[in-house]
Structure 1
């Protein structure tokens, strides 16, 4: 079959899906973010890479994309989904806990860096609107790269998280500002700008009011069906509707996507929606980054090597200095300031989004955007090397800092209760009474709403989705308690948890001894059969009423419970190690 007989869309889909299937696992194996991989794939298979040779070698048609404009609609949709998921990840509770760092350190870092870059670019001849757009774009740092490298439980990771959180928030006004400037980029007058701004504010305010009233009801209906497909359809309907609403008044559709994400983040369904949208986020970001890589011409880089090198070094140096100095002024250790400053110095994947928005708004020329896209792509690619350099310099500057106290407090781990029924609520009460933090999750929206009204920390979500539990803090959870009355589901979840976290205490509710044996076989640390517990409680009541002292009764009940547990484990022919039989109290 000749290349002409193959649909270009099918060929492009083959390249994109093939890249996702190869890049993500290969780069994950070496603990490198796939962001770099997607850019390199775009560079390799794009029109400036192997795509140049399609006419000489026809077989390359199947593994290259010679016309990147065909991907523009997919890339735009990918940007919308990416900004929607950024909105989903923001939480007012999370922001409030770190408000001083986020709105103090984070705001200072973005505004100071953006202002210095904008002033420098303006002096180089860039018109003020374009200089402002470029300064703000280049001031952003990569959440997708920095947090996986630094983590969130180290001084560097927590300092970076505070700044990145503010940058995620700032995306809203930045994109809003660029969208408002778009129709008047070449005009000196401000009347039209103010008109667009106040109309945009009214539209966004209306979306927020309508969203707060309508979205909980919409997703409550979807939750009652327990259909992930309906959740996905409702989510896409909301994000596309909001994007179209802002596009109709002349603002960027990204503004609508961000507002939609922020509104859904305030509902109890946001964790489930985040889990459902996660694969689409990765693929959407991958498509966008592939198109970025396709726009990189190695010959252009070679011809302008001096200017590009100077721009990359200048941006990295300026951002590292500003971030490091601000951290020192806010009380961070010298080693933390150095390492964080160097790690945060490269531009972000959202820099590319802002550049694209600025280009579509006619604030900068396409050639200027391409130049800074190349600078950004190079900065993203060298971020892991910057992280290593920062660690090396920090250790040499302050070698005793490894055991120093953290600069910032981390979120405290909490137990995860699967199920908000009567058993789950009782477990939550006992954990609260003994000062233990917890979060409960259930797929029954009405039950979750009841628990929240009664003061329980409960959220809506599918406990069978591992990514949902990870978002709730599974990697640091002291224990997971399964309370649902669904034997097959409990066994499947237990098996997945044990495979992913061999040392995690898993305490599970069982219907009877046979079910308990299955749970032990699946990897439960402790399985509690309801029928046996009812018998033990009945025996305890009888003995107390007959006049036996409470102390000996409780001791005998505990002995009998341990005896039953041994029998259950032996009947299941298990080889569980004693270390897995961990009590909740020890968590």
Structure 2
């Protein structure tokens, strides 16, 4: 017991320290887990052979991850992306696997081993790439969307790869692997004793049972469990689904990841999908993190020190092969400029599933321990250099310029007194209301599709980047009466407001803000009217709550209007105390003033509520007196 607690404490401490540091350095959580494992394993020697036993337990995190991937893959969405998934993603896997297989054979490895290594190294790091794309706000670019399609196809491909890899093992090696599995070996031997058609029938029946159970059994069971109103039972139910399906797959000799992935896809359209996801995600994260720590702890750095040039050379060869395949596909699918380089450099590494597949192929006796150690080092080294690839992309992007919108800016030939910069889902409503009220606007947006959609419905718009001073001047900034900054990017709105205020001190500027912090920034930049994105809609929702709690429409409206007025005044007051770069909670003057304003707001609203109720109370008393007097008169 003491040894277990010590090991648990050790793993948790390293996890809590290493992962946040790696995330802050932009390396991603996966590299943080690997670094933690390397620290407590090869570097400090705090863990030993027990990590192998722990790794078998932690591999269940991979099963949970594939279940969550399945939950996110709605069948309709998969069908809509079929061209990119099968074309771009499928070709990447096939070409990379083929080239690495040929390279392995050139180095003298058997075809089976070379093919298994090719499949393993063809996958890229979903965790690192998606996190980096999100942090750098590159997900919506053409290169980011194409990279996501490839990563999604790779995640899906893990399932057939796991099912196919055991076929590459020699019959004797498969027997040894089955004998070492322990739990479930009796059931598996029973299955294997069946004739070929019987094994096929049982396997097919298990898959059908998984799909049918997801459709017809899970929903009524969830409603039954939901009736208990206990959070821990919900969690137990989610774990029961994953564990039972994994066990069923093991009994028939299939990969448990295959079953849980199918179950996830089946349940992707269910009404409780998000509930299942939130229940399973913490266990998946911890177990998967534990798996990567054990991988890091099990890496033999003696191999690296014995053959540094070999390991570095293999890592460089892997990056070059994958980069070449990705670059060719980028050309075939007509990606240009920075999108082409983002796609090429972003996916040129091996991925976290590579660790899973290396451990799996080693367990199946497809590859040997020495080769497995070498592959683990190559995968880890390629992932470690990924942040450098994104830095290189940023350098190339600055030189190439932003070509996410390949069309040139429109020539603005019509200047109106109202300029609307940004006409997405927010600016469209503003433009429709103003133009339908009889006023003319000049609309600018950097997204070609948005402007084309606007034109399709009869509204005029121009393609261009509103943050460019020359474009604002061409739109008539010097003569305009009102400028509306409605860009999705808060920093772009600040840039527009700041420039327009310098050029036109008399111009009335209305700006869209994302939150209070953004309001303060726009206030400093010189905006006259600042509208928070969700503030008005939240006020309306609050009004509906008051109405359904017994207030009349008029009373709720009055309270809404008063809250709106006082909150605007409070924000303007707090804007003078706001300090750029300093969190509000660390600004004592701001916190004290915010508390005081909130107390004043509460007192004013309560007084208004009481005042609104007074007339009704006095009217009822008057009516009671009149009724009593009438009764006396009758007597």
Q: TM-score when scaled to structure 2? A: 0.62
Partner of 2:37: 42
Q: Deviations over 1:282-319 (max 9, x none)?
A: 21221011111112232320111111111101111000
Partner of 1:141: 124
SS at match of 1:135: helix
- By how many angstroms is 1:352 displaced? 1.1
Output the CA distance in 1 between the equivalents of 2:388 and 2:304: 20
Output the CA distance in 2 between the equivalents of 1:95 and 1:70: 37
Distance 1:531 1:76, change over 3 A: closer
Partner of 1:365: 368
Output the CA distance in 2 between the equivalents of 1:134 and 1:195: 32
Q: What does residue range 190-201 of structure 1 map to in structure 2 within 5 Å? A: 199-201=202-204
Length, aligned pairs only: 441
**2:534 aligned with 1:505:** yes
SS at match of 1:225: coil
- By how many angstroms is 1:140 displaced? 0.4
Partner of 2:294: 291
- By how many angstroms is 1:186 displaced? 6.0
**2:207 aligned with 1:204:** yes
Unaligned runs of 5+ in 2: 175-193, 409-423, 427-452, 454-487, 491-513, 520-531, 576-635
Q: Deviations over 1:254-296 (max 9, x none)?
A: 3233233323324221112112222222212210111111122
Output the CA distance in 1 between the equivalents of 2:380 and 2:124: 12
Output the CA distance in 1 between the equivalents of 2:425 and 2:128: 24
Distance 1:328 1:160, change over 3 A: same
Distance 1:314 1:68, change over 3 A: same
SS at match of 1:387: helix
Partner of 1:491: none
Partner of 1:431: none
Output the CA distance in 1 between the equivalents of 2:361 and 2:533: 48
Partner of 1:387: 390
Q: TM-score when scaled to structure 1? A: 0.67
**2:249 aligned with 1:246:** yes
Unaligned runs of 5+ in 1: 1-5, 52-60, 407-411, 415-434, 436-473, 477-496, 510-523, 540-559, 581-587
Output the CA distance in 2 between the equivalents of 1:66 and 1:536: 71
Distance 1:531 1:87, change over 3 A: closer
Question: Residue 245 of structure 2 contacts residue 260 of structure 2 at CA under 8 Å; is this kept in 1?
Answer: yes
- By how many angstroms is 1:180 displaced? 4.9
Partner of 1:325: 328
Output the CA distance in 2 between the equivalents of 1:192 and 1:50: 52
Partner of 2:475: none
Partner of 1:17: 12
Q: Deviations over 1:43-89 (max 9, x none)?
A: 1101x2201xxxxxxxxx5xx56642342233222222223222223
Equivalent position to 2:258, from 245, 248, 255? 255
Question: Residue 173 of structure 2 contacts residue 364 of structure 2 at CA under 8 Å; is this kept in 1?
Answer: no
Question: Residue 180 of structure 1 contacts residue 193 of structure 1 at CA under 8 Å; is this kept in 2?
Answer: no
Equivalent position to 1:76, from 59, 64, 67? 59
Distance 1:565 1:265, change over 3 A: closer
Output the CA distance in 2 between the equivalents of 1:185 and 1:379: 34
Partner of 2:630: none
Output the CA distance in 2 between the equivalents of 1:573 and 1:246: 60
Partner of 2:359: 356
Distance 1:569 1:269, change over 3 A: same
Q: Deviations over 1:460-493 (max 9, x none)?
A: xxxxxxxxxxxxxx999xxxxxxxxxxxxxxxxx
Partner of 2:103: 120
**2:99 aligned with 1:105:** no
- By how many angstroms is 1:228 displaced? 2.7
Partner of 1:461: none
Partner of 1:171: 158
Question: Residue 179 of structure 1 contacts residue 252 of structure 1 at CA under 8 Å; is this kept in 2?
Answer: no
Q: Deviations over 1:150-170 (max 9, x none)?
A: 232122210101101111111
SS at match of 2:542: strand
Q: What does residue range 157-556 of structure 1 map to in structure 2 within 5 Å? A: 157-181=144-168, 184=171, 199-396=202-399, 398-399=400-401, 401=403, 404=406, 504-506=533-535, 527-530=542-545
- By how many angstroms is 1:192 displaced? 9.6
Distance 1:233 1:526, change over 3 A: closer
Larger radius of gyration: 2
Partner of 1:90: 73
- By how many angstroms is 1:402 displaced? 5.8
Distance 1:250 1:366, change over 3 A: farther
Question: Residue 163 of structure 2 contacts residue 255 of structure 2 at CA under 8 Å; is this kept in 1?
Answer: yes
Distance 1:232 1:145, change over 3 A: same
Output the CA distance in 1 between the equivalents of 2:517 and 2:122: 37
Distance 1:20 1:37, change over 3 A: same
Output the CA distance in 2 between the equivalents of 1:129 and 1:262: 31
User: CA RMSD for the aligned pairs?
Assistant: 3.7
Distance 1:298 1:525, change over 3 A: farther
SS at match of 2:215: helix
